[in-house]
Chains A and B, each alone.
Chain A
Amino acid sequence: MSAPRSAAPGRRGRVLRLYAPLGLYLLFTIVPFYWMLVFALTPAGSTAPVPWPVTFDHFATVWNGLGYAVFFRNSVIVGVWSLAVTTVLAVMGGYALARYRFRGRTLFMVVLLCTQFIPGAMMLIPLFTIFKSLHLINSLGSLIVADTVFNLPLSIILMSGFVSAVPFSVEEAAMVDGCTRPRAFLAVVLPQLRPGLIAVGSFAFIHTWNNFLFALMFVSRQDSFTIPVGLSYTIGEYSADFGALAAGGVVAALPVVCVFAVVQRYLVRGISAGAVKG
Chain B
Amino acid sequence: MKIRTAWAAFAVLALAAGGCGSGSGSDDGSGKTTITFWDNNGGARTPVYQELIKRFEQANPTIHVEYVGVPIASVQQKYDTAVAGGDTPDVGGVTTSYLANLVGQQALEPADDWLAKSPVNGKLAKPMLDSVRATVPDGKLYLVPNTSNMDVVWYLKDLLPTPPGTWDEFFTDADTLTKAPDQYGYTIRGGAGSIFQVLAEMYSYSGISEFFDATGKSTVNDPKNVEFLTKMASLYKKDTPEADVTNDFPKMVAQFGTGKIAMMHHNLGSYNDHVKAHGADKIGAFALPAGPSGKRTIVANPVDGFAVFKNSAHKDAAWKFVEFLVSKESNSYWNSKTGQIPANTEAQTDSWVAALPHLKTAVDTLADPGTTVVSPPYYLPQFSSITKADTEPLFQKVLLGQMKPQAFLDTLAQKLTDAQAEWKKAHGG
Task: In the complex, identify which listed stretch (B229-237, B251-259, B394-402) lies at the interface while the others stay far away.
Answer: B251-259
Cβ-defined partner of A220 (8 Å) among B18, B87, B269? B87
Binary per-residue interface labels of chain A (58-79) against chain B in the complex, 1 for a CB within 8 Å, 0 otherwise: 0000000111001001001101
Are B17 and A76 interface neighbours, CB within 8 A?
Answer: yes
A229 beta carbon closer than 8 Å to chain B: yes
* Chain B proximity of A38: nearest CB distance (Å): 13
Q: Report the Cα distance A233→B45, complex, angstroms.
A: 10
Take A73-B17, A80-B14 as given contacts and tell me if A128 and B338 are in contact as well, using a CB distance cutoff of 8 Å.
Answer: no
* Number of A interface residues in the complex (CB < 8 A): 46
Which among B71, B77, B338 is the interface contact of A233 at CB below 8 angstroms? B71
Q: Which residue of B lies closest to A65 (CB)?
A: B47
The answer on a CB contact under 8 Å between B74 and A194 is no
Contact string, A231-261, partner B, CB cutoff 8 A, digits 1/0? 0111111111110000000000000000100
Taking a contact as CB atoms under 8 Å apart, the answer to whether A237 and B66 are in contact is no
Bound together, the chains give a CA A124 to CA B80 distance in angstroms of 10
Q: B34-42, B107-115, B327-335: which lies at the A interface? A: B34-42
Assembly CA distance A44 to B279 (angstroms): 10
With A44-B276, A220-B87 as contacts: A233 and B43 at CB distance below 8 Å: yes
Contact status of A236 and B72, CB under 8 A, knowing A66-B43, A73-B21, A125-B84: yes
Which B residues are in CB contact (< 8 Å) with A124? Answer: 77, 81
Residues of A within 8 A of B17 (CB): 73, 76-77
Specify the chain A residue showing the minimal Cβ separation from B253: A240
Does chain B have a CB within 8 A of A263? yes
- Chain B residues 67-85 with CB under 8 Å of chain A are 67-74, 77-78, 80-82, 84-85
Minimum CB–CB distance from A188 to chain B (whole Å) comes to 15
**A52 lies within 8 A of chain B by Cβ:** no
Given A45-B257, A84-B11, A140-B22, is A240 in contact with B273 using a C-beta cutoff of 8 Å? Answer: yes
Distance in angstroms from B137 CB to nearest chain A CB is 25
**In the complex, what residues of B have CB within 8 A of residue A84's CB?**
11
Residue B250 at the chain A interface, CB threshold 8 Å: yes
**A223 lies within 8 A of B69 (CB):** no
CA–CA, A72 and B396, complex, Å:
39
A217 interfacial by beta-carbon distance below 8 Å? yes
A221 touches B66 (CB 8 A): yes
Contact between chains at A237 and B87 (CB < 8 Å)? no
A224 touches B86 (CB 8 A): no
Known: A223-B21, A239-B43. A80 touches B10 (CB 8 A): yes
A222 touches B67 (CB 8 A): yes
B71 touches A239 (CB 8 A): no
Q: Which residue of B lies closest to A80 (CB)?
A: B14
Closest 6 A/B residue pairs (Cβ): A233-B43, A45-B277, A80-B14, A240-B250, A238-B269, A128-B85
Chain B contacts to A: CB under 8 angstroms = 3, 6, 10-11, 13-14, 17-18, 21-22, 24, 36, 38, 41-47, 66-74, 77-78, 80-82, 84-87, 89, 193, 249-250, 253-254, 257-259, 269-270, 272-273, 276-278, 338
